[in-house]
Amino acid sequence: MINESPKFNTNKKILSYINSIEDNLTEESVDFFSTNFWPVIRLQLAFSLIQKNQKILNSKKNEKKQLLSGDNSFHQIKDKNQLFISHANYFVEIGGKKYDRVLEGIKQTSASPIIFNLDDYTFRYENDREPFKNISREVFLIKGMSFLLGIFLKYFWFKKLRVLKKIQIEAGALDKPVISEMEISIRICYIFLLSKYITHLLKLLRVDQIYQAMYYDNFGLASGLASHNLSLKNHCVQHGGQSENNPAFGSWKVMSDKGYAFLPDYFLCWNEASSRSVDSWCKRMSKH
């Protein structure tokens, strides 16, 4: 079984496995909806293996959300706003006011910041304690639509998905793929549909720049594609030093000198070592 194998018990081994897959990939094999979806698939692969490792560690140790109302009225929206995508885990409260330990410095220098909380899918203005919009219902609906669409399109994407399955098995000498054809198909549909909805939100909120504490989750990737299609600047703000073996930041294959639509335009790195690991591959792409 994959989750019992020591092959992928470190990030370095996981990244080596992913790089082996990349050696056998073509842009055509990861082209869905006329977009290179390799970043979505790569991160799905990486975090599937990381999560399995975590389950093993937790198992060994054992051996020895309130939903807000869907939509409040919008405040007066300014002509240009900066969207800060973060998580409640990064918030600290001091003197009755919330601060973001990752994005606070940049947020304080922004003209009109809007905060999106990944924990409960709410939007709020910087000086307001209460959110002005909750998109939990919309996200739930998109998930359901993606599940059905993924099942349907799996049969149209049969050849590409079969190639991805084969490469996963051969690159790691496995009995079965890390992520199945169905899992890939459904996630591609989810990210794609979510990006369409986020595009609508970015226009509605008149966002001109995005700052993310975590670009590599579903919302982050969908926001990356949406901002790319709208020609908005998308920044990733690292929340700690990042190893060259981190699959989100290290050793990306250059499939095109134009870069990846899903990845941020700018990586605001924690330290010089983190910067070098990103610069080693992104300097060969014009977008990043």
- Average pLDDT value for residue range 101-122: 90
Asked if 84 and 211 count as a contact pair (C-beta separation under 8 A), the reply is yes
By CB neighbour count within 10 A (0-12 exposed, 13-18 middle, 19+ buried), where does 243 fall? middle
* pLDDT of 171 over the 60 cut: yes
Average confidence score pLDDT of the chain: 85
pLDDT band at 55 (very low <50, low <70, confident <90, very high): low
119 domain-assigned: no
Segment 42-63 shows an average pLDDT of: 71
Assigned domain for 259 exists: yes
Instruction: Tell whether the model's pLDDT for residue 161 goes beyond 90.
Output: yes
Binning pLDDT at 50, 70 and 90, where does residue 67 land? Answer: very low
Segments forming the whole domain that contains residue 202:
8-64+135-282
> What is the structure's pLDDT at 138?
96
Q: Report d(CA 231, CA 208) in Å as an integer.
A: 9
Q: Is the pLDDT of residue 4 over 60?
A: no
What pTM was computed for the model?
A: 0.87
Specify which of 28-37, 86-95, 127-136, 277-286 reaches the highest per-range mean pLDDT: 28-37
Query: Is position 109 within any domain?
Result: no
Per the CB < 8 A criterion, the answer to whether 15 and 245 are in contact is yes
Kindly state whether residue 39 falls inside one of the protein's structural domains. yes
Please report where in the chains the tokens 């605001």 appear, as a residue. 268
For residue 123, is it within any domain? Answer: no
Does the pLDDT value for residue 167 go beyond 60? yes
Among 27-31, 68-72, 215-219, 273-277, which stretch is predicted with the lowest mean pLDDT?
Answer: 68-72
Q: Is residue 101 part of a domain?
A: no
Per-residue confidence band for 1, with pLDDT thresholds at 50, 70 and 90: very low
The more confidently predicted of residues 205 and 279 is 205
Q: Is residue 250 part of a domain?
A: yes
Average the pLDDT over 32-45 and give the result.
94
Q: What is the DSSP letter of 26?
A: -
Considering the domain boundaries, does residue 242 fall inside one? Answer: yes
**pLDDT at position 253:** 83
- Beta strands 35-36 and 81-86: pairing type? unpaired
The answer on pLDDT for 66 being more than 80 is no
Q: How many domains does the chain have?
A: 1
Compute the average pLDDT of residues 262-288: 85
What pLDDT, on a 0 to 100 scale, did the predictor assign at position 90? 87
70 versus 10: the higher-pLDDT residue is 10
